[in-house]
DNA sequence: AAGCCTTATCGTAGCGCTATGATAAGCCTA
DNA sequence: TAGGCTTATCATAGCGCTACGATAAGGCTT
């Protein structure tokens, strides 16, 4: 035979890999069409009870596991929600992610996780891969992103929720609270206790813009006070840890002779500061008042118990999930950008 | 025309949704075939430099984002690794997940996260959905799973890593350490300090089998001691929190008159116990020695600093990632189940 | 009983990509 | 210069599912 005929009647290619059980197999066993199986899986109410039972039986006898990848491709949108946080090690974000995850998994959505380590370029890369999953929604942390990230997301048409911060223009939706207001609340609290030489102890504020905003809100409220008061912002370039808190406290003690009020960028730092006060013989709250942020696990139990500001990562998570589900179900008021303020609560305990 | 001819020459269906830019578009612009673009994306070295440049240019002008869902379907295995932990709120797992994620993302793998809340049936459901992603690997926590979970995973042929525990028969691979040995180390340490009335304070040990194993390892080592020593295991049914630690300490003080050595199931509980000792006027380490587990952030800084056992969640994460990558690249010795012991280290500080 | 709705089910064309094997284009070697 | 080997590139058949539109089967009207 000649070459041209060879081109025409080609041998069927070897199939690469037969996967276990497909929807087709289920359909055959249940004596219905694949479409009906698919329909049953997506909207069980739409098929007749008889067919439904037949299909359910077939699924269980065959041990059928639907292939979400194929489904995602066919539906042009996969059942994943991509969440990008600065760090999962951070208890705040862990709580929120955990809550979002719980709420979404009830609706059959998966969570894909990424952490940016507070880098905007790294965040952009994560957004890029997130979008290659054709996700049902993307969740970002904060409102600060580089231009490319915003462009990518806007162009994608995917619902986007920015969480843990409000007070700027969101890409799409936002759930969180105002960080400057948190700083201001802390300042007012200390001022109301008669404290006049204040310090804000923060970590990694070059990158953690939200912490920086709490600091500046704090500083501004101090300036605005009726009685004259001073305020210094002290930053630790490393991570916000208990140890950083100890270091920061010592720096504050050195820099501010009459220091009598301290706000920490989070409760871990506050705990470190508290321990260091104890070591240095600085009485809390007698000589200095201490206010944290986050209301972590230990904050109510430590000695003295820690006055802190609770932002409720849990509530944020629930609201994020709610907005995502509403968007997916098309219940969202078109055109308006949705912003939910979850607020914050100052919890007064013994340290102030 | 009759019905049968109508069946034959049907109108082409409306396409549902055109996606932005496809590989085809890139191929057209770069004047090569789609296969070449695909090849370039997967193995850049395999295409000529000239074609590569052309393709790269096309990708950037069009802003092409590859569709991983389609890729996953075609390749019969998606670039996701599914990690199932009991809880992300737990600092241990957060650390490990974070590390795995970092290591894997360098190889273009995504992490899908699930949390089982210490429920085996919930874990099974998570494994089921995990498998519907045709994942490159599945990571589970611990060696205790229900029969169905094991069956599903074994049948799937997907690489499986069980982490944070060794000492049983893994489904496929395991990375972790022996929990009874951790308990035994803690017991030996307290005994060596002359402590004889010991207690193990744990939380949620009905569900947290690993904590329960640390407790029993502790109890057995105590029995085996040269000098006679007693040991009680006290369990708090709720979560392992600082507050649980306070409650547990009070119960221990009530139940054990001469209590002089305490091991806590984790450092959060130990911190709570430490605070409570301070409140109750129980001198640590003079009257009781205290040993924790986990070496969390605060353990070195608290007062007194906490003797603890470090399991190294970070190392576990790195090893898990290494095994996964080896499996994917087919560098794994066939047939052997791989088990990596990451060990544990007792860090002696002031609390003992 | 004809006509018109519903409702349940089906057939099939892609979704965008990768794997496979084929082909074309060089590049030696004899 | 022919034959044999590498590469580099290509054409195409699915991967398993969902969405679309069509069809069949009843159930009401009038």
- pLDDT score at A37: 95
User: Mind listing the domains of chain B with CATH numbers?
Assistant: 14-66 (1.10.260.40), 76-177+314-342 (3.40.50.2300), 179-310 (3.40.50.2300)
Tokens encoding B129: 């959905």
- pLDDT score at B2: 34
10 Å Cβ neighbour count for A312? 18
Contact flag A132-B67 (C-beta cutoff 8 Å)? yes
- pLDDT score at B1: 33
Measure A23 CA to D17 C1' (Å). Answer: 8
| Helix (H), strand (E) at residue A308 | strand A307-310
Q: What is the mean pLDDT of residues B226-233?
A: 93
Contact flag B297-A101 (C-beta cutoff 8 Å)? no
Measure B39 CA to D6 C1' (Å). Answer: 18
Cβ pairs bridging A and B (under 8 Å): 157
B217 shares contact with chain A (CB less than 8 Å)? no
- pLDDT score at B8: 34
A207 shares contact with chain B (CB less than 8 Å)? no
- Look at residue A334 and tell me whether its pLDDT is greater than 90: no
Contacts of A167 (CB under 8 A, 6+ apart): A143, A178, A179, A180, A213
A67 shares contact with chain B (CB less than 8 Å)? yes
- Look at residue B173 and tell me whether its pLDDT is greater than 60: yes
**DSSP secondary structure letters along B226-248:** SS--EEEEEEESS---HHHHHHH
Contact flag B113-A112 (C-beta cutoff 8 Å)? yes
B147 shares contact with chain A (CB less than 8 Å)? no
Measure B126 CA to D23 C1' (Å). Answer: 39
> What confidence tier does A5 reach under pLDDT thresholds 50, 70, 90?
very low
Higher-confidence residue: B97 or B15? Answer: B97
The nucleotide closest to B38 (CA, C1' atoms):
C18
Cα separation, A212 vs A206, in Å, equals 8
- Flag the least confident range among A101-110, A180-189, A241-250, B18-27: B18-27
B95 shares contact with chain A (CB less than 8 Å)? yes
Average pLDDT, chain B: 91
| Residues of A with Cβ-Cβ distance to B63 under 8 angstroms | 155
| Helix (H), strand (E) at residue B28 | helix B23-30
Partners of A174 in the β-ladder:
A162, A339
Contact flag A246-B297 (C-beta cutoff 8 Å)? no
Q: What is the mean pLDDT of residues A260-288?
A: 97
Cα separation, A135 vs A113, in Å, equals 12
**DSSP structural state of residue B14:** P
- pLDDT score at B335: 59
Q: What is the mean pLDDT of residues B37-54?
A: 93
Report residue B97 CA to chain centroid gap: 6
- Look at residue A252 and tell me whether its pLDDT is greater than 50: yes
Average pLDDT, chain A: 91
B110 shares contact with chain A (CB less than 8 Å)? yes
Contact B96, B164 (CB under 8 A): yes
- Look at residue B170 and tell me whether its pLDDT is greater than 60: yes
Tokens encoding A62: 């065959």
- pLDDT score at A272: 98
Tokens encoding B118: 């210490």
Q: Within 7 A of a protein CB, which nucleotides of strand C?
A: 8-23
Cα separation, B293 vs B265, in Å, equals 6
Measure B206 CA to D29 C1' (Å). Answer: 65
- Look at residue A55 and tell me whether its pLDDT is greater than 50: yes
> What confidence tier does B330 reach under pLDDT thresholds 50, 70, 90?
confident
How many angstroms away from the CA of A231 is the closest CA of chain B?
Answer: 27
In terms of C-beta distances under 8 Å and separation of at least 24 residues, what long-range contacts does B14-19 make, across chains too? B16/A76, B17/A76, B19/A76, B19/A134, B19/B67
The nucleotide closest to B64 (CA, C1' atoms):
C16
> What confidence tier does B328 reach under pLDDT thresholds 50, 70, 90?
confident
Cα separation, B141 vs B113, in Å, equals 12
- pLDDT score at A4: 34
- pLDDT score at B131: 92
Among A19, A68, A100, A296, the strongest candidate for a mutation testing the B interface, having the largest count of B CBs within 10 A, is A68
- pLDDT score at A3: 34
At B341, phi and psi to the nearest 5? -95, 115
Q: What is the pLDDT of residues B79-103, one digit of tens each?
A: 999 999 999 999 999 999 999 999 9
Cα separation, A151 vs A160, in Å, equals 12
Alpha-carbon distances, residue B126 vs B81, B82, B113, B129 (angstroms): 13, 9, 9, 5
- Spell out a b/e string for A202-230, using b for 16 or more CB atoms within 10 Å of the CB, else e: bbbbebbbbbbbbbbbbbebbeebeeebe
Alpha-carbon distances, residue B96 vs A99, B90, B93, B131, B179 (angstroms): 19, 10, 5, 21, 17
Q: What is the pLDDT of residues B296-305, one digit of tens each?
A: 999 999 999 9
Contact A114, A130 (CB under 8 A): yes
B181 shares contact with chain A (CB less than 8 Å)? no
How many CA within 13 A on the CB side of residue A215? 21
Q: What is the mean pLDDT of residues A230-251?
A: 97
- Look at residue A106 and tell me whether its pLDDT is greater than 90: no
> What confidence tier does A9 reach under pLDDT thresholds 50, 70, 90?
very low
Residue with tokens 């905003």, as numbered in its chain? A213
Cα separation, B325 vs B328, in Å, equals 5
How many angstroms away from the CA of A213 is the closest CA of chain B?
Answer: 25
């Amino acid at each position: 035979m000649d070459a041209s005929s060879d081109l025409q009647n080609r041998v069927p290619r070897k199939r690469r890999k037969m996967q276990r059980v497909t929807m087709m197999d289920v359909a055959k066993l249940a004596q219905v069409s694949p479409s009906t199986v698919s329909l049953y899986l997506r909207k069980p109410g739409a098929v007749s009870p008889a067919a439904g039972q037949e299909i359910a039986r077939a699924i269980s006898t065959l041990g059928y596991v639907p292939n979400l990848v194929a489904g995602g491709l066919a539906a042009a949108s996969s059942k994943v929600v991509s969440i990008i946080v600065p760090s999962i090690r951070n208890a705040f974000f862990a709580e929120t992610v955990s809550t979002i995850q719980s709420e979404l998994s009830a609706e059959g959505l998966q969570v894909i996780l990424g952490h940016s380590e507070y880098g905007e370029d790294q965040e952009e890369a994560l957004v890029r891969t997130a979008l290659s999953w054709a996700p049902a929604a993307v969740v970002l942390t904060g409102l600060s992103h580089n231009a490319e990230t915003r462009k990518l997301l806007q162009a994608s048409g995917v619902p986007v929720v920015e969480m843990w911060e409000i007070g700027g223009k969101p890409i799409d939706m936002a759930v969180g609270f105002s960080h400057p207001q948190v700083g201001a609340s802390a300042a007012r609290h200390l001022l109301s206790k008669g404290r006049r030489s204040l310090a804000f102890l923060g970590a990694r504020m070059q990158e953690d813009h939200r912490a920086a905003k709490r600091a500046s809100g704090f500083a501004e409220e101090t300036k605005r006070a009726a009685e004259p008061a001073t305020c210094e912002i002290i930053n630790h370039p490393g991570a916000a840890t208990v140890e950083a808190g100890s270091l920061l406290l010592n720096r504050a003690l050195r820099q501010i002779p009459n220091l009598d009020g301290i706000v920490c960028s989070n409760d871990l730092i506050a705990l470190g500061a508290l321990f260091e006060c104890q070591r240095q013989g600085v009485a809390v709250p007698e000589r200095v008042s201490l206010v944290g942020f986050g209301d972590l696990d230990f904050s109510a139990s430590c000695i003295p118990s820690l006055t802190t500001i609770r932002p409720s990562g849990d509530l944020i998570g629930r609201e994020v999930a709610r907005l995502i589900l509403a968007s997916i179900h098309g219940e969202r008021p078109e055109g308006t950008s949705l912003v939910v303020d979850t607020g914050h609560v100052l919890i007064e305990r013994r340290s102030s």
